[in-house]
Amino acid sequence: MFDLNDRAALVTGAGGGIGAAVAEAFAHAGARVLVSDVDEQAAKDVAERIGESGGIAEYAALDVRDAAAAAEVAERAAGLGGGTLHILVNNAGAISPAMFPDLEEEAFRRIVDIHLMGSYACSKAALPHLAEDGRGRIINVTSAAGLQGTIGQANYGAAKAGIIGLTKSLARELARRQVTVNALAPLAATAMTENIRSNEKLAAKTLARIPLGRWAEPAEIAGSFVFMASDAAGYITGQVLPVDGGTVI
């Protein structure tokens, strides 16, 4: 049920962290993966690591805000599946924390553009290539910040909340094509959480809100993406799955 053989996947923001772990997990499950990231060298390193472990992967530089580039990368990813793209993971992200009185418009727009507009652009680019035989998947990455709000990152929280709305709307629209659209809200020890984990006070407060009392490694998160991409999740759409040690209950 979790076999991804003969499927092509595009993962954005896959040069490190959760994205890299997801790309590797997909390849391990049999998918042919296009690893994309704004950092081309990072994407190349992940693709080469997948190849060295026996998987099939290519890489591409992609700024998800660039719709034309997204279209080119989606077409390349579909080429790995003989012209069909089976799985899109909208994972690319960034942070620009500031308390609201100090949050500049440029920083607000940049984060919304990367997360929300990037998910829009890549989903739009992928749509002409997505499988319509029940195996087509769009998997968006949101956050507890989008479900509950957050302090010091109103831009990030707003973008992640927007992704939830996009997910639910696309799920309703694309069901007629037998394409499922879901979102995962992960929490892991990555570069994006380093500012929290490296601050003793913030780290302690965050751990106190995680019932399991620890940070996950990206590889622990990746299995939930494999599940959502697989036949096991074929009757799930429009849902948000927190993978966060119980932070959102």
pLDDT in tens, 165-210: 999 999 999 999 999 999 999 999 999 999 889 999 989 999 999 9
For 9-37, the pLDDT digits (tens) are 999 999 999 999 999 999 999 999 999 99
What integer best gives the mean pLDDT of the chain? Answer: 97
pLDDT digits (tens, 9 = 90+) for 135-146: 999 999 999 999
Whether the model clears a pTM of 0.95, i.e. scores above it, the answer is: yes
Q: Cβ contacts of residue 179 below 8 Å, gap of 6+?
A: 130, 131, 132, 136, 137, 138
Would you state the pLDDT for residue 195? 85
Please, which pLDDT band fits residue 107 given cuts at 50, 70 and 90?
very high
Secondary structure string (H, E, C) spanning the chain:
CCCCCCCEEEECCCCCHHHHHHHHHHHHCCCEEEEEECCHHHHHHHHHHHHHCCCEEEEEECCCCCHHHHHHHHHHHHHCCCCCECEEEECCCCCCCECHHHCCHHHHHHHHHHHHHHHHHHHHHHHHHECCCCCEEEEEECCHHHHHCCCCEHHHHHHHHHHHHHHHHHHHHHHHHCEEEEEEEECECCHHHHHHHCCHHHHHHHHHCCCCCCCECHHHHHHHHHHHHCHHHCCCCCCEEEECCCCCC
Known catalytic residues are 156
Per-residue model confidence as pLDDT tens digits over 109-148? 999 999 999 999 999 999 999 999 999 999 999 999 999 9
Residue-level pLDDT at 63 = 98
CATH superfamily for domain 8-243:
NAD(P)-binding Rossmann-like Domain (3.40.50.720)
Q: Give me the residue spans of the domains in the chain.
A: 8-243
